[in-house]
Amino acid sequence: MPSIFLSPSTQEWNPYLTVGNEEYWMNLIADAMEPYLIASGISFTRNDRNAPLGQAIAQSNAGNYALHLALHSNAAPENLAGRLQGIDAYYYANSARGRNAAEILARNLKTIYPDPSLVKTVGTTELAELSRTRAPAVLIELGYHDNPEDEAWIRNNIVAIARNLVQGLTVYFGIPFVEPQGVRYGTVTTEETPLMLRNRPDIEAEIIARIPRGTRLPIYGSVGEWYVVSYQGREGYAFSDYITPEG
């Protein structure tokens, strides 16, 4: 299953016009992403909001992540304060995979941002979270927090933004998007052989674990005839005919 390093802003010194700051609102979006990530089978690690940026980059580089995703909001230069709007999805200019991820995420964000023409991708070599991370990386500025319209849009659409970002990630990874259904549990009811946990909802997909009969599993969601479950710290897809839900 794909795994991401999720890095919401730690910039508490960037106040919003009404209440809160960049760190507060970006972490709320990351919080809201978690159930969608789990339901869709995307594992994640988050940065430490109290640690410096260099530590987050080192933590990201220490893992084997398919994508590093940083969440921020923007502020205009002093001479343009409050007058700029829009979403920028930054990627490292020399990374084809980073560019592909940025384009997919930006294209999806256009479906919920009030003015789609103001959502764009930007290649750069200036940002440390893009140039110094080992995984392909995208840094998204989700609007201008010094602009009243953008600031209100961010604050009033936390869950919608979170859901949209995870939808974009599932497109990038080529897996189904699964709505969170609340965690429930089930028991493996195969006859003799273990139940195969696969990295995609396909009988030909790679087997990532073998689950013994009688094992109790958390069920996060369903895709057709498959459940999204986890076993021994690994998330994947298991054929639903061989899992009996509780209740």
Domain ranges of the chain: 3-173, 184-245
Structure tokens at 18: 């009404």
Please give the backbone phi and psi of residue 53, each rounded to the nearest 5 degrees, phi first: -55, -40
**Dihedral of CA 15/52/97/6: which sign?**
negative
Q: With a cut of 90, say whether residue 109 has pLDDT above it.
A: yes
Q: With a cut of 90, say whether residue 247 has pLDDT above it.
A: no
In this prediction, what percent of the chain has a pLDDT beyond 90? 93
CATH hierarchy code of domain 184-245: 2.30.30.40
Confidence class of residue 1 from pLDDT cuts 50, 70 and 90? confident
Query: Average pLDDT, stretch 41-64?
Result: 95
Side-by-side strand order, sheet with 67-74: 43-46, 3-8, 67-74, 137-144, 87-92, 119-124
Architecture of the CATH domain 3-173 = 3-Layer(aba) Sandwich (3.40)
